[in-house]
Structure 1
Amino acid sequence: MAKAINMAVVEQALSGFTIPPQPGVLLAIKAEIESDDPNIHRIAELINQDVGIAGFTLKVVNSVYFGLRRKVSSVEHACKYLGLNRVIKLVSSVVLRFTLSQGKTDRFTTALWHSATQVANAAMLIAQQLRLGSDTVDDAYSLGLFHNAGMALIAGQFPDYAKVLKQGLQQGHSVPESEQQHFETSHELLGYMIAQSWGLAPELANVIAYHHSPALMLVSDDLYEKRLFALLKLAEHMTEENRILLESDQDPEWQQYKTTLLDLLELDELSLHDLGDYLAQHEVPNCYHH
């Protein structure tokens, strides 16, 4: 696995920030799923308690990514289609988005969740196309949605957050470097604490903690972590995350490590155009298909 997290560093990064707890509805859904005889009708009832969560769950299930021949019209049908394990992953991600957004409609917050959705869908589709298995597909989707969750916490406290990051990129500084210099924290560590608090798999939490540290992630002895990391980085690159979030065409991490990342996924640069076409067919805009 990736290098052990230094909790003293995490505690320092948390200074002044509150990790949002899991809402009662999510805890109740988890409890029902983990019971000896989970009741899918009860799970659907719990999801339906929050119209925003219910609506977004249906929107995702009815999207082109799941390729349903007929639209699902109820949360109960969605639960039956997805299965219990996938329901909790999807609903957790949906709830996190609503919890961190808290009704904010500023440009950066809007861009943040738009980008997270694009990266999640791209990572999921790439894992599907590479036939990496349903667990990897699901984890890639969750990782895409959660990886920048810490940004929402910092942006909520510092209105100039996006501006600082843009200026840092222009001056050749990485995002974590700019965050440490100006805000004395890191969205990677905050994201790690959110992932830990919300019960994400350890592999996902580790990748979130180090997703701007390719030199560390790529020497991990955990192949699954490295593969998830490569999926995330490829999805970020293909969906042009920096352009969406920070209006920047610079992607220094990809440029420096793309050969190693592609090797992990048994891909070459020529195959990215075919992947771009595949993403476009599933309505995911990307830099290889304009």
Structure 2
Amino acid sequence: MQISTLLKQTDKLPNVPDVVLELIEALKNPDVHFSVIAEKVAHDQTISLKVLRAVNSAYFGLSRKVYSIDEAIAILGTNKLKTMVIASGFVNSVESVQGLDLKGFWYDSFAVAELAQWLGKRTSLVDDDEAFTAGIVHNIGRLLLHLAESELAISIQEQIRQGKGSRFRIETEALGFTTQDAGKALLDLWKFPPELGEAVKHHKRPFAEQQPPQPLACILNLACYFNACIRNEREMETVHEGLPLAVVKAAGITPLTLDDVDQALNLDNELSYIMY
């Protein structure tokens, strides 16, 4: 199979709003016009409601209710608005997926995104907002496979569940590529910044093809590691002992202490409940 086979099924691709794609293109533009973004958000009813819900949640801790989308946008500011719009846009990009627990999928994506943003704040090599976006889309190739070839995706998932091999090996044998490769191809099709696609493609094995490895891919790798540790309820000391130190160094992060690890393991993933 070719990745292009998946991408040609345009009726099955996630439907991401234009405002989200425009925001992602502007991720590295510090001079992005706030008023233009705000106007686009205000004209998208679904995203507007999600932004209002988020602003009025405990996540932002405001002392009073906000009822105006214009006021909500002003309170959030450019960076938080980007996060809200991108998160909302992707969560609403598909309504149902055969063989995939969509709520669990987005919960996991948000958890990785929050961890990636937390890690991004601890290095000068990665923008933390870009790291959040990378976390949201890090597994988009798996979603694409379930949308375009659901029976094959379910078969792969069942083989992994039965312990017949790693996802990397099973996907490569069944497809000729991995869902990380498919994710990069989809992000390229959407004209995302190239570094986001590269991070998605290489985050599982950041040292495999890139020398030196891309810092954003390393951040995603660490975020996925921490998320797996949380999911499997590993003890803090075990998590710290298992840290891939070469990846930590390549991400530009100073060695993480036990206190840092404890903070990462206790990050609140409330945003996933707000945006879903």
1:263 corresponds to: 249
CA distance in 1, matches of 2:176, 2:56: 41
Percent of matched pairs sharing the same residue? 23
2:133 is the counterpart of 1:145: no
Equivalent position SS for 2:267: helix
- 1:155 aligned partner, one-letter code: H
CA distance in 2, matches of 1:267, 1:218: 22
Q: Map 1:28-177 onto structure 2 (within 5 A).
A: 38=33, 40=35, 43-61=37-55, 72-84=66-78, 87-88=81-82, 90-99=84-93, 101-104=94-97, 107-128=100-121, 130=122, 132=123, 136-156=127-147, 157-159=149-151, 161-162=153-154, 164-165=156-157, 167-168=159-160, 171=163, 173-177=165-169
Instruction: Compute the TM-score of the two structures, normalised by the length of structure 1.
Output: 0.68
How far is 1:260 from its partner?
Answer: 1.1
CA distance in 1, matches of 2:241, 2:164: 14
How far is 1:48 from its partner?
Answer: 3.6
Equivalent position SS for 1:214: coil
How far is 1:274 from its partner?
Answer: 2.9
CA distance in 1, matches of 2:226, 2:14: 30
Equivalent position SS for 2:6: coil
Task: Decide whether aligned partners of structure 1 residues 21 and 233 sit closer, same or farther in structure 2, where only a CA change above 3 A counts.
Answer: same
CA distance in 2, matches of 1:104, 1:133: 38
Structure 1 spans left out of the alignment, 5+ residues:
1-10, 245-253, 286-290
What is the aligned-residue RMSD (CA, Å)? 4.2
CA distance in 2, matches of 1:38, 1:181: 46
Task: Decide whether aligned partners of structure 1 residues 21 and 188 sit closer, same or farther in structure 2, where only a CA change above 3 A counts.
Answer: same
2:217 is the counterpart of 1:220: no
Which runs of 4 or more aligned residues in structure 1 lie more than 6 Å from their structure 2 counterparts after TM superposition?
27-34, 254-257
Q: Which range moved further: 189-198 or 75-84?
A: 75-84
CA distance in 2, matches of 1:150, 1:255: 31
CA contact (8 A) 2:6 2:145 kept: no
1:247 corresponds to: none
- Number of aligned pairs? 256
2:227 is the counterpart of 1:239: yes
Task: Decide whether aligned partners of structure 1 residues 26 and 126 sit closer, same or farther in structure 2, where only a CA change above 3 A counts.
Answer: closer
CA contact (8 A) 1:120 1:145 kept: yes
How far is 1:145 from its partner?
Answer: 0.2
Structure 2 spans left out of the alignment, 5+ residues:
233-239
